[in-house]
Amino acid sequence: MAKLTFENAMKRLEGIVEALERGDLALDDALKKFQEGIKLSTFCSNKLDETERKVALLLKDEEGNIREEPFQEER
């Protein structure tokens, strides 16, 4: 199996949510999808936390203080 990426996990999670919202799954199938969705949600949350930590490291100054800068969108 290919390595799971954040984007692939989000796409799969969106599909699971859509399937669950339709409400036409058997109870066992819905439970399996729900469990997979929880795992994917946890994976995505962990990826976002990891990315936030990496960004914070990149924003540290010479003294080790983190400086916050607003995100500037390119136009």
Ranges of each domain in the chain: 8-58
The confidence score (pLDDT) of residue 38 equals: 98
pTM: 0.74
**49-61 tens-digit pLDDT:** 988 888 877 777 7
The confidence score (pLDDT) of residue 40 equals: 98
d(Cα 12, Cα 7) in Å, to the nearest integer? 9
**27-75 tens-digit pLDDT:** 999 999 999 999 999 999 999 998 888 887 777 777 877 776 665 656 5
Q: Which residue from 36, 1, 2 is spatially nearest to 17, judged by alpha carbons?
A: 36
Residue 71, phi-psi category: left (phi > 0), alpha (psi -120 to 50), beta (remainder): beta
